[in-house]
Chains A and B, each alone.
Chain A
Amino acid sequence: GIQVEQSPPDLILQEGANSTLRCNFSDSVNNLQWFHQNPWGQLINLFYIPSGTKQNGRLSATTVATERYSLLYISSSQTTDSGVYFCAGVWNRDDKIIFGKGTRLHILP
């Protein structure tokens, strides 16, 4: 079936550490996007990345569409990076957008 799976589900790190979040998606899912939901509930766009690599400051993302996965890298974590990170893709058979269940990241000061 259609699947967007994220790992790990939870991650606790010390401030300054680096982290890698993974998103696996099934066939027919494309147009990957990464979001950050902050502790106040806001959903913030991080990357629209159907393929290739993008960087924005301490964050970068890579999508390998042929192998159906995407990675989000966070370097030198800060407490403000805490929250839930979601990936989402479009199922190309009927244009539905499907979210993974998220990775909850907690950065300790």
Chain B
Amino acid sequence: EAQVTQNPRYLITVTGKKLTVTCSQNMNHEYMSWYRQDPGLGLRQIYYSMNVEVTDKGDVPEGYKVSRKEKRNFPLILESPSPNQTSLYFCASKQGLPYEQYFGPGTRLTVT
């Protein structure tokens, strides 16, 4: 089944404790991206990657890191999480620019 998977789905952590949210897609898509969703603000793009070893900042990259070492995986790293990073995070992938994107199930992160 073609899908985008994220892990973990739920995470509660404390300020400053490094964490990684994994994202994997099995559709051989070139483009992958991360979003956060906050009440009243909709979805905002954090980082995106057009292909392996190519990453670019979205609208809200501060406090996040990403890497794209292989085509199928695009982990989101929070080196020192803070409470303002409490949010619902989505990973997405698409074959290329003129194609529709597909979303993972979301990761609900709480930083206390």
Contact = CB atoms under 8 A, between A and B. Distances in A.
A97 B56 contact: no
B106 to A, nearest CB: 5
A68 interface: no
A26 interface: no
A97 B103 CA distance: 13
A98 B60 CA distance: 12
A50 B97 CA distance: 12
Contacts of A31: 97-98
Interface residues of A, number: 21
Interface residues of B, number: 25
Contacts, number: 51
A66 B18 CA distance: 47
Interface string A16-49: 0000000000000001010100000111010010
A50 B44 contact: no
Interface SS of B by simple majority = strand
A95 B43 contact: no
B110 interface: no
Contact of A96 (B59, B90, B100): B59
Contact of B56 (A35, A43, A94): A94
A50 B106 contact: no
Interface stretch (A55-63, A73-81, A99-107): A99-107
Given A48-B100, A50-B98, A41 B88 contact: yes
Query: Which 10 pairs between the two chains have the least Cβ-Cβ distance?
Result: A48-B100, A43-B103, A101-B42, A99-B43, A99-B42, A41-B106, A33-B100, A97-B45, A102-B42, A31-B98
8 contacts: A41-B105, A88-B43, A94-B56, A95-B50, A96-B48, A97-B48, A99-B42, A101-B41
